[in-house]
Structure 1
C-alpha cells in the first residue's frame, strides 16, 4: 500500500515545525546564531516547503481523479 501525498505532507510539516522548535531552543541556549541553528532553520524550510508541495499534489491528484470519473 502506498502512502498518500497528504499523509507525507503532514509528516513533512510536523518535522519542519519540530526543526523550528529545536532551532529556537538552540538560539535561546547559545544566545547567537551558530552553524547548527542555521542548519536547523534550513532543514525546517525544506521540510515545510516539501510538505506544502505534497499537500497541493494530493489535491491536484484528487481533482484529476474527479474529472476522470465524469
Structure 2
C-alpha cells in the first residue's frame, strides 16, 4: 500500500471535519442538542485538529527539503 502525503491527508481530514460539522448542524436543527450532536462535534473537532497537524507537518517537511 502506498503512503499518502501529509497534504492529501490534511485535505481529507478537513473535508471530513466540514461534513461532520454539517451533520451536527442538521442534527441540532432537527432534534436539538442531544448526545448525537455532541458526538458529531467531537468527531469534527478531532478531524480538524488532525488536518491542521498534517498541514503543519507538510510545511515542516517542505522547509527541511528546501534546506538540503
- Say yes or no: TM over 0.5: yes
Cα offset, 1:24, TM superposition: 0.2
Rg bigger for which structure?
1
Q: Runs (4+) of structure 1 moved beyond 6 Å?
A: none
Number of matched residues?
67
Partner of 2:30: 29
Query: How far apart are 1:23 and its partner, in Å?
Result: 0.1
Taking the aligned partners of 2:20 and 2:9, their CA distance within structure 1 comes to 16
Question: 1:1-60, CA deviations, whole angstroms, 9 ceiling, x for partnerless residues?
Answer: 321000000000000000000000000110x21000000000000000110110110010
How big is the alpha-carbon RMSD for the aligned residues of Structure 1 and Structure 2? 0.7
Distance 2:49 2:25 in 1: 19
Structure 2 unmatched runs, 5+: none
Q: What is the TM-score normalised by the length of structure 2?
A: 0.95
Please list every run of 5 or more consecutive structure 1 residues that lacks an aligned counterpart in the other structure.
none
